[in-house]
Amino acid sequence: MPSAADVPKHPLTDSDRKVLRILGLRFSAIAELTIFLVLAIAADFYLGDGDRFWDVAPHPFWLIVIALSVQYGTNEGIFAAVCCTTALLAWNLPDQGVGQDLYDYLFEVTLTPIMWFAASVLFGELRVRQIRERDELRRGLNAAIERERVLSQRYRELDTIKDRLEERVAGQLKTVYSTYQAAREIESLGVGRVLLGMSNLVESILSPKKHSIFLLKGTDLQSTFGKGWSRKDTYSRAFDSGSPLFQTVIGRQEIVTIADPVGEKILDGEGVLAGPLIDHETGEVVGMLKIEELGFLDYNLGTIESFRILCEWLAAAYSNARNFERAKTQAAFDPEINMMSAGIYDRMSKVMSAVARRVGFDVSMLLFQISFPSDATSEERRERIRDLGVAVETVLRNTDVVFNRRQGDYDYTVILPNTSAENADIVAQKMRRHFVESGDPDQAGMELKIAVQALYTHDPQSKSPGGT
């Protein structure tokens, strides 16, 4: 069966074609008949006897009568018979014979035209039936081609829908996994990791193009984390207590959306959504989550409800991490990374310096920081921190004390009693070498930065109190 590419999209039947007709007769049939009669009569006049082929049998006019009947049908055939009869008998009637009565004469004159009319009806009806059957077949072919076209179109649409569903299912699986990973990150007890996990969680649930997290510091909201921002963006990085956005989100604890004319005025080009981070256990407002840019199809009523729940979730996670940080600073030991906490560093350093001054030995200090590339994952960061812990246990002595303490650009501090600055530098080199050897070669860009400082330098010439 021919396909839509091989057959015209909508083939027409004879009844559908725009054929030029005169009085219901095809113009082409009239033209053919006229030309034939003119040529035939001219040939008879100039080459024949001028009696219009009266005595010729069969008569030449049979050609055009049969031809038009067979080609066009009954109407054109009868018209040809009428014209041929007129052309034959007009001013060309034969004389009646002496012994010939009227009926014999009329029979002789009309015999040939009667046979033309009979032939035109017979052959014309056969042709009409053939045309009717052909048109019926063409209409069936048209319907079949149209069905094929519609089915092909529906198949393509169905195939497109299938591809979109596959992409959506794959995207949902990816979203579920990324949400799970982000949820694990905000379960961490470190504030820094929680902030990073908060951003990843927002991205996996709402899929914003640009978003930011503001924390309440004093009487101002200050940007702590922004993702998707470019250098061309002019978003504010802080909001004071007098700004409409601060008063609405923090003061009245309301979600502001650009879909609301009032909310659009409050946002003033700063984004499409903004909401308070409220710890519902204590009622404390800790900050604000703001979505600067969101896809058109991603913004709906469900998005606003998800945004509300997300604000509560992030606030609870941040409050828990902050409370843990506060408790950890008051503890002597940080079990998460197996180090002494920063809360007792000042006391320990003073005690160690006093003992070194009394007994007479040097005390040095090492400052550590691990530099991570911007694309490093949370799991890779934790892995390298564990590598640092292994290096500490392997290289350092039992008398060396490690603190989880941030000082400037450094995150960890080691006090080395009875160790000069030169020996501390040797320890630092051993630490760096062990850290590099214990790491994964594929983790490029993760380096250990170490600085050596003298906490107390003993002067042998000075008088030491001595004693125990």
Residue 276: name the closest of 300, 303, 296, 247 by CA: 247
Give me the half-sphere count of Cα atoms (radius 13 Å) on the Cβ side of residue 21: 11
pLDDT at 384 over 50: yes
Question: Which band of pLDDT confidence, cut at 50, 70 and 90, is reported for residue 123?
Answer: very high
Length of the chain: 468
Is residue 169 in some structural domain? Answer: no
Confidence of residue 10 (pLDDT cuts 50, 70, 90): very low
Q: Quick one: which of 57, 71, 103, 64 has its CA closest to 86?
A: 64
Please indicate, yes or no, if residue 376 is contained in any of the structural domains.
yes
Residues 379 and 401 in one domain: yes
Copy the structure tokens of residue 140: 């069936």
Instruction: Locate all alpha helices (DSSP H) within 282-420, ordered by sequence.
Output: 301-330, 345-359, 378-395
CA-derived radius of gyration, the chain: 51
Q: Are residues 397 and 305 in the same domain?
A: no
Task: Examine the pLDDT at 200 and tell me if it is beyond 80.
Answer: no
- Average pLDDT score, the chain: 80
Number of H helices, E strands in the chain: 11, 14
* More confident: 142 or 467: 142
In this structure, is residue 162 part of a structural domain? Answer: no
Contact 367, 451 (CB under 8 A): yes
Residue scoring higher pLDDT (141 or 460): 141
Q: How many Å apart are CA 76 and CA 68, to the nearest integer?
A: 6
Which DSSP string corresponds to 354-385? HHHHHHT--EEEEEEEEE--TT--HHHHHHHH
Please give the biggest Cα pair distance in the chain: 179
Among 329, 355, 374, residue at a domain's last position: 329
Last residue of a domain, one of 303, 329, 355: 329
Contact 211, 311 (CB under 8 A): no
- 121 band by pLDDT with thresholds 50, 70 and 90: very high
Q: Is the pLDDT of residue 313 over 90?
A: no
Residue 147 shares a structural domain with residue 227: no
Q: Is there a domain that residue 225 lies in?
A: yes
pLDDT of 35: 95
Question: Above pLDDT 90, what percent of the chain?
Answer: 22
Does 128 lie in the same domain as 77?
A: yes
Residue 142's pLDDT is 93
Retrieve residue 371's tokens: 């530099």
Q: Are 226 and 238 within 8 A, CB to CB? A: no
Spatial neighbors of 404 by CB under 8 A, at least 6 apart, are 334, 337, 339, 340, 341, 342, 411, 412
pLDDT at 36 over 90: yes
Quick check: helix, strand or coil at residue 223?
strand
Query: CA dihedral defined by 209, 215, 221, 227, rounded to 10 degrees?
Result: -20
Does a structural domain hold residue 51? yes
The pLDDT, as a whole number, for residue 224 is 82
**Token pair for 281:** 């256990």
Closest CA to 316 of 274, 284, 351, 290: 284
Confidence of residue 3 (pLDDT cuts 50, 70, 90): very low
Structure tokens at 282: 């204590």
pLDDT in tens, 251-309: 888 999 988 889 889 998 899 899 998 887 778 888 999 999 888 777 777 788 888 88
Residue 140 has a pLDDT of 93
Q: What is the pLDDT of residues 205-253, one digit of tens each?
A: 777 888 898 988 888 898 887 888 888 888 988 999 889 999 999 988 8
Q: Where are the alpha helices (DSSP H) in 48-101?
A: 61-72, 74-89
Q: Dihedral (C-alpha) 35, 40, 42, 44: value to the nearest 10 degrees?
A: -170
Within a 10 A sphere around the Cβ of 296, how many other Cβ atoms?
A: 6
- Does some domain include residue 66? yes
Q: Picking from 17-26, 35-44, 111-120, 193-202, which range would have the lowest pLDDT averaged per residue?
A: 193-202
Q: Name the amino acid, one letter, at 200.
A: N
> Which among 2, 11, 21, 14 is positioned nearest to 133, based on CA atoms?
14
Looking at the fold, whether 310 and 210 belong to one and the same domain comes out as yes
Kindly report, residue by residue over 385-402, the tens digit of the pLDDT: 777 777 888 888 888 888
Cβ partners under 8 Å of residue 77, min gap 6: 65, 68, 69, 119, 120, 121, 123, 124, 127
Residues 324 and 339 in one domain: no
To the question of pTM greater than 0.85 for the whole model, the response is: no
Q: Are the C-beta atoms of 177 and 358 separated by less than 8 Å?
A: no
The domain boundary, picked from 295, 329, 363, lies at: 329
| 54-58, 175-179, 388-392, 419-423, range with the lowest pLDDT | 175-179
Residue 165 has pLDDT above 80, yes or no: no
- Quick one: pLDDT at residue 439? 67
Structure tokens at 335: 């079990």
Alpha carbon of 186 to those of 190, 316, 416: distances in Å?
Answer: 9, 10, 35
Same domain, 345 and 257: no
Question: What pLDDT does residue 464 have?
Answer: 45
Residue 89 to residue 87: CA distance in whole angstroms: 6
Q: What is the pLDDT of residue 331?
A: 60
Mean pLDDT is lowest, of 46-55, 170-179, 247-256, 352-361, for 170-179
SS3 category, 14: coil
Contact residues for 373 (Cβ-Cβ < 8 A; gap 6+): 444, 445, 446
Same domain, 309 and 339: no
Give the pLDDT score at 466: 39
* Residue 144 and residue 220 in one domain: no
Both structure tokens of 178: 């990324």
How many C-alpha atoms does 245 have within 13 Å on its Cβ side?
27
Residue 268 belongs to domain with CATH number: 3.30.450.40
92 domain-assigned: yes
Q: Within a 13 Å sphere around the CA of 54, how many CA atoms are in the beta-carbon half?
A: 15
Cα–Cα distance, 289 to 280 (Å, whole number): 16
Break the chain down into helix, strand, coil percent, rounded to 5.
55, 15, 30
Instruction: Provide mean pLDDT across the span 164-168.
Output: 72
47-85 pLDDT, tens digit each = 888 888 888 888 999 999 999 999 999 999 999 999 999
Residue 363 is part of a domain; what is its CATH number?
3.30.70.270
Q: Compute φ and ψ for 22, nearest 5 degrees.
A: -125, 115
Within a domain: residue 372? yes
Higher-pLDDT residue of 421 and 75 is: 75
The DSSP line for 146-158 is: HHHHHHHHHHHHH
Tell me, what's the pLDDT at 175? 55
Which of 200-204, 353-357, 414-418 is the least confident region? 200-204
Task: Please say if the pLDDT value at position 193 is more than 70.
Answer: no
Pair 34, 131 in one domain: yes
Residues 366 and 305 in one domain: no
Confidence of residue 336 (pLDDT cuts 50, 70, 90): low
| Structural domain range at position 393 | 334-456
Q: Which residue type sits at 342?
A: A
Whether 127 and 238 share a structural domain: no
